[in-house]
Amino acid sequence: MRSLLMLVIAIASVLSFSSSFLYADGFNSVHTADGNYIIAAGRDGRIFRSVNGGNSWASYTEPGAEFKSVFVFGNSVWLSSANGKIYKSSVGSTVLTPYSSGVSTSINSICFVSESVGFACGDNSSVFKTTDGGLTWTASSTGITGTDLSSVSFRDAQNGIAGGKNGKVYVTVNGGANWTPETISTSRNILDVKYFSDGLAVAGEWGVLFTKPSSGTWSQATTNIRTDIRAITGTSLSDIHVCGGGGFIRNNTGGNALFRNFEKNPMLADLVDIVYSGGKGFAVSSLNNAVIRTTDSGTSWQLPSGTTVSYTWAVKPGASGNFLGNNLSLHPTDRDAIFIVFGNQVYKSKTKGEDWAPVGNSIPSGSTPHSFYVSPIDTNIWLVAIESSPTDKIYRSTNYGQSWTEVLAKNFSNYGQPMEMDQNNPSTFYFAPDNGGFYKSSDNGATFTEISNNFAFRSPCDIIVMHDSSKVLFVADGITGSGQAKVFKSVNGGVNWTETHTAASSEIPSMANTVFDQSLMWCTEWSGSNIYKSTNYGLSFSSHHSNSFSGWGSDICHEDPTVIMTGSWSAKAAISLNAGETWTDISSGLGGHGGGMMMPDRGYIICHQGSNVYKLNVLYSVQTSVSETNISLQPGDFALSQNYPNPFNPATKISFSLPVSGNADLKIYNELGAEVATLAGGFRQAGTYEVTFDGAGLSSGVYFYKLTAGNLSETKKMLLLK
């Protein structure tokens, strides 16, 4: 058997005896059976374990393992690995014992219905079954062919479901002896499946989410996202919680068939697994070690105690120049591709904004772009509104920017975003120039016609269209120094307009709305610092929050309306992760003046700032209460060293040596003799070990730590001073 060796990664900004983990780490799976014992496992054999409901965590590593899935049932714990092995432990031990599945390929998912009967699946259409608690495994995949399986779930010992690549889904009614394919209308990869007591659920790439009642047929939920749904949990088809993308968590409780109950959470990185037990829930990312938790059924989620979060913007190379407005445009079918315009040049990133390269030829007679779109109908069609002399213009390309045609010459705001595409009908574009009028194109921007009888707008700054309702449009209007920033609304496609909001500022630089709630809108003001919110479809706005800076760009996360970001004409920005209840300054690293902002998902945040593109990096530093590292595997005398530092606050190191291999326990007791922590337990090779203990959860006082190995034991005293 092997013991779990704990991993310590030092960070210069954290005390040397603290255990901290960086963004490059991550987990693939998390599970609990009772909400008190929780285990998360993932990259490089990394394991986090909590025995107190997530109040504190201990960290371990298993050399040579890449954990894919973890499952807890009763007192037993199983972990599957990319090396074909399935490891077993117990909730009271940190010892892992590996067992062979019979293959050396990846075992991607594991599920148990009792402490004896379990199932696992993996690459090459493999399914395995155990009836002895995971000690031996037999192939059980008859009927499954031609796919790598990502997930398996059983309701009981007989009824199960498995899913994998290319939309393949299989069910069994005889304990895995035979599998029958299910017909689901998708070819996207299935990433998770769940067999509830009353039916089935499957989820996957590009927001795929299907459910099937026990006596019904498959139906697909319209999730309105481009990223992946990675995991499913819950108690029934009417209580499903899913996570994925850049960190969203959604559920369908209360009859919300569109899963538009968004669970506010602090994670700005992909969530790859989630588990609920009663009102407690836990979720993990593959990009960091912050196991988030909820204790109120998803009403709110928290980071682990002691976690620090830093937000830093980084300049991304390859695209620069002058601009105004928002010239960011997502590629409609390639999730990694995004466009931007600086000066008279279009740039494209194939890496979600990490780097950029020019594409197409220069836009003629232009100097400062304000609005840019790539058509979802035909990606060869591009439209840009650009300052030009003597008259501003709209140019159009039908050949991916190789050549450009002038469509309209009309002066527009020198600080706004005068053109908008109708996301509900992408062949329709709108344009609002200075000094009145509202123009519409119904032919992919080839021609524009004035439709509002030259309504008396002053200098429009932004245009948005209500999601799922193209008749409802909004124009933000303002003039520098006017003292009146206004919002106008049309309910007949832009023909007639009504003023719905006036602020004592000069401009409304940007507005933001969301497909998930048509009644919700946000807008900024300049030169004031207020953020305004409407919950009645833009009929009225109220001041919701005031930043320490004047407002400019803004966006609601395209996949989660609880995340809102706002910027400034200066190098300032703020974000809310809880629908505006609280805001965090995220200005670090920004330079120049503000422009456009875009949040395609929670983990993908871009800013069109100054003369460069900036992308937000988020770093999570997680402290664990216990960590252990192997110093030497050379046998030595039995020894327990004095902790250092001593006195300590809140963390200290303890070293010990073992002369022979065997079970060893290192525990901490208070002055009354009650055990308060287990630092090491289970099998250890002969050698020297160093354990880091964080006593942040303990009160000041004298404590004793005791090492026991075989018939040998030693006890020492230490002092915690806070």
Q: Higher pLDDT residue, 20 or 300?
A: 300
Split at pLDDT 50, 70, 90, the class of 5 is: very low
pLDDT per position as a tens digit, 405-447:
999 999 999 888 999 999 999 999 999 999 999 999 999 999 9
410 touches 395 (CB < 8 A): no
164 pLDDT above the threshold of 60: yes
Give the model's pLDDT for residue 14.
Answer: 27
327 vs 127, 337, 340, 515, 560, CA distance in Å?
A: 49, 14, 5, 21, 22
pLDDT per position as a tens digit, 639-661:
999 999 999 998 899 999 999 98
Give the model's pLDDT for residue 8.
Answer: 31
pLDDT per position as a tens digit, 571-588:
999 999 999 999 999 999
Q: Where in the chain are all domains bearing CATH 2.130.10.10?
A: 21-307
Question: What DSSP letter does each residue of 622-643 carry, written as one string?
Answer: ---SEEEEEEE-S----EEPPP
Q: Say how far residue 571 (Cα) sits from the centre of its chain.
A: 25
Give the model's pLDDT for residue 662.
Answer: 83
Render the burial of 691-711: b for 16+ CB within 10 Å, e for the rest. Answer: bbbbbeebeeeebebbbbbee
Of 444, 490, 484, 482, the residue nearest 463 (C-alpha): 490
525 touches 505 (CB < 8 A): yes
Of 708, 711, 633, 682, the residue nearest 1 (C-alpha): 682
Phi/psi class of residue 223: alpha, beta or left (left: φ > 0; alpha: ψ in -120 to 50)?
Answer: alpha
112 touches 78 (CB < 8 A): yes
Give the model's pLDDT for residue 679.
Answer: 84
Give the model's pLDDT for residue 293.
Answer: 97
564 pLDDT above the threshold of 90: yes
Find the largest Cα–Cα distance for the chain.
Answer: 95
Task: Give percent of the chain with pLDDT exceeding 90.
Answer: 82
Q: Where in the chain are all domains bearing CATH 2.60.40.1930?
A: 626-720
- Alpha-carbon gap, residue 280 to 123, rounded angstroms: 32
Give the model's pLDDT for residue 264.
Answer: 98
CA angle 482, 486, 488 (to 5 degrees): 145
pLDDT per position as a tens digit, 180-237:
999 999 999 999 999 999 999 999 999 999 999 999 999 999 999 999 999 999 999 9
pLDDT per position as a tens digit, 50-68:
988 998 888 888 888 999 9
Average pLDDT over residues 442-471: 97
- Alpha-carbon gap, residue 655 to 335, rounded angstroms: 49
The fold for domain 21-307 equals: Methylamine Dehydrogenase; Chain H (2.130.10)
Q: Higher pLDDT residue, 322 or 292?
A: 292
Split at pLDDT 50, 70, 90, the class of 686 is: confident
The fold for domain 626-720 equals: Immunoglobulin-like (2.60.40)
Contacts of 451 (CB under 8 A, 6+ apart): 438, 439, 440, 493, 494, 495
pTM of the model: 0.87
Split at pLDDT 50, 70, 90, the class of 452 is: very high
279 touches 237 (CB < 8 A): no
3-state SS assignment for residue 166 = helix
Give the model's pLDDT for residue 631.
Answer: 72
